[in-house]
Protein backbone atom coordinates (compact mmCIF):
# COMPACT_ATOMS: atom_id res chain seq x y z
CA UNK A 1 0.00 0.00 0.00
CA UNK A 2 1.17 3.53 -0.68
CA UNK A 3 2.09 5.45 2.40
CA UNK A 4 1.66 9.15 3.07
CA UNK A 5 3.04 11.06 0.12
CA UNK A 6 4.50 14.52 0.49
CA UNK A 7 5.76 16.91 -2.14
CA UNK A 8 8.11 18.46 -2.82
CA UNK A 9 10.83 16.60 -0.89
CA UNK A 10 13.03 19.67 -0.89
CA UNK A 11 12.19 23.34 -1.35
CA UNK A 12 14.58 26.25 -1.40
CA UNK A 13 13.18 29.73 -1.84
CA UNK A 14 13.85 33.31 -0.94
CA UNK A 15 12.21 35.04 1.97
CA UNK A 16 8.96 36.75 1.14
CA UNK A 17 7.92 34.09 -1.35
CA UNK A 18 4.84 31.92 -0.95
CA UNK A 19 5.52 28.29 -0.16
CA UNK A 20 3.01 25.47 -0.62
CA UNK A 21 3.59 22.02 0.80
CA UNK A 22 1.41 19.13 -0.30
CA UNK A 23 0.27 15.91 1.30
CA UNK A 24 -1.68 12.88 0.13
CA UNK A 25 -2.82 10.79 3.12
CA UNK A 26 -3.28 7.05 3.14
CA UNK A 27 -6.59 6.09 1.57
CA UNK A 28 -9.27 5.48 4.18
CA UNK A 29 -7.59 7.53 6.87
CA UNK A 30 -9.86 10.23 8.25
CA UNK A 31 -7.30 12.12 10.33
CA UNK A 32 -4.52 14.22 8.87
CA UNK A 33 -1.75 15.95 10.82
CA UNK A 34 0.89 18.54 9.93
CA UNK A 35 4.10 18.67 12.00
CA UNK A 36 7.23 20.77 11.89
CA UNK A 37 10.66 19.61 13.04
CA UNK A 38 13.61 21.82 13.91
CA UNK A 39 16.77 21.23 15.90
CA UNK A 40 15.72 23.79 18.48
CA UNK A 41 12.10 22.80 19.04
CA UNK A 42 11.97 19.17 17.95
CA UNK A 43 8.81 17.76 16.39
CA UNK A 44 5.78 20.00 16.89
CA UNK A 45 2.15 19.46 15.89
CA UNK A 46 0.88 22.39 13.84
CA UNK A 47 -2.68 21.43 12.93
CA UNK A 48 -4.86 18.40 12.40
CA UNK A 49 -7.99 17.59 10.46
CA UNK A 50 -10.79 15.11 10.91
CA UNK A 51 -12.90 14.30 7.87
CA UNK A 52 -11.35 17.31 6.10
CA UNK A 53 -12.34 19.72 8.88
CA UNK A 54 -9.63 21.48 10.92
CA UNK A 55 -9.98 20.42 14.55
CA UNK A 56 -7.06 22.03 16.33
CA UNK A 57 -4.80 24.67 14.84
CA UNK A 58 -3.33 25.88 18.11
CA UNK A 59 0.13 24.84 16.98
CA UNK A 60 0.14 27.04 13.90
CA UNK A 61 2.85 29.61 14.62
CA UNK A 62 1.19 32.69 13.16
CA UNK A 63 -1.13 34.05 10.51
CA UNK A 64 1.44 33.53 7.81
CA UNK A 65 0.68 29.82 8.05
CA UNK A 66 -2.52 28.30 6.69
CA UNK A 67 -3.64 24.75 6.00
CA UNK A 68 -6.47 23.36 3.94
CA UNK A 69 -7.94 19.99 3.18
CA UNK A 70 -10.28 20.34 0.20
CA UNK A 71 -10.95 16.61 0.01
CA UNK A 72 -10.08 13.35 1.72
CA UNK A 73 -7.03 12.72 -0.43
CA UNK A 74 -5.23 16.05 -0.40
CA UNK A 75 -4.02 18.72 1.99
CA UNK A 76 -1.81 21.77 1.69
CA UNK A 77 0.22 23.80 4.15
CA UNK A 78 0.95 27.30 2.92
CA UNK A 79 3.35 29.91 4.22
CA UNK A 80 2.94 33.45 2.94
CA UNK A 81 5.18 35.36 3.19
CA UNK A 82 7.96 32.97 4.13
CA UNK A 83 10.77 33.91 6.51
CA UNK A 84 14.17 32.29 7.21
CA UNK A 85 12.96 31.09 10.62
CA UNK A 86 10.39 28.92 8.83
CA UNK A 87 13.22 26.70 7.61
CA UNK A 88 12.49 23.20 8.91
CA UNK A 89 11.36 19.75 7.91
CA UNK A 90 7.58 19.58 7.60
CA UNK A 91 5.88 16.24 8.04
CA UNK A 92 2.39 15.11 7.21
CA UNK A 93 0.81 12.12 8.94
CA UNK A 94 -2.52 10.34 8.68
CA UNK A 95 -4.47 7.81 10.69
CA UNK A 96 -7.81 6.23 11.35
CA UNK A 97 -9.63 7.06 14.59
CA UNK A 98 -7.51 5.94 17.57
CA UNK A 99 -5.03 4.14 15.33
CA UNK A 100 -1.29 4.85 14.97
CA UNK A 101 -0.29 7.79 12.83
CA UNK A 102 1.70 7.06 9.68
CA UNK A 103 4.15 9.72 8.59
CA UNK A 104 5.41 10.81 5.21
CA UNK A 105 9.09 11.39 4.50
CA UNK A 106 8.73 15.13 4.94
CA UNK A 107 9.53 18.29 3.01
CA UNK A 108 12.85 19.92 3.81
CA UNK A 109 12.24 23.66 3.51
CA UNK A 110 15.00 26.24 3.34
CA UNK A 111 14.16 29.93 3.26
CA UNK A 112 17.10 32.09 2.24
Taking CB under 8 A as the rule, does residue 98 contact another protein? yes
Sign of CA dihedral 52, 34, 101, 12: positive
Nearer Cβ to another protein, position 21 or 104? 104
Of 91, 94, 109, 111, the residue at the interface with another protein (CB under 8 A) is: 91
Please report how many Cα atoms fall inside a 13 Å half-sphere around the Cα of residue 9, on the Cβ side.
1
Nearer Cβ to another protein, position 16 or 58? 58
Taking CB under 8 A as the rule, does residue 45 contact another protein? yes
Taking CB under 8 A as the rule, does residue 100 contact another protein? yes
Total chain residues near another protein (CB under 8 A): 21
Backbone Cα Rg of the chain: 13
- Residue 2 beta carbon to another protein: minimum distance, rounded to whole angstroms: 14
Provide the pairing of β-strand 107-111 with 102-103: unpaired
The whole-angstrom separation of Cα 43 and Cα 89 is: 9
31 membership: H or E segment, kind and range: strand 31-38
**Chain residues in the site for another protein (CB under 8 A):** 4, 31, 42-45, 48, 50, 55-56, 91, 93, 95, 98, 100-106
Amino acid sequence: DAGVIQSPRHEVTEMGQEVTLRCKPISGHDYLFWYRQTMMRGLELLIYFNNNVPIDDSGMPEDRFSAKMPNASFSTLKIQPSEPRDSAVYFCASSRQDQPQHFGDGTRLSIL
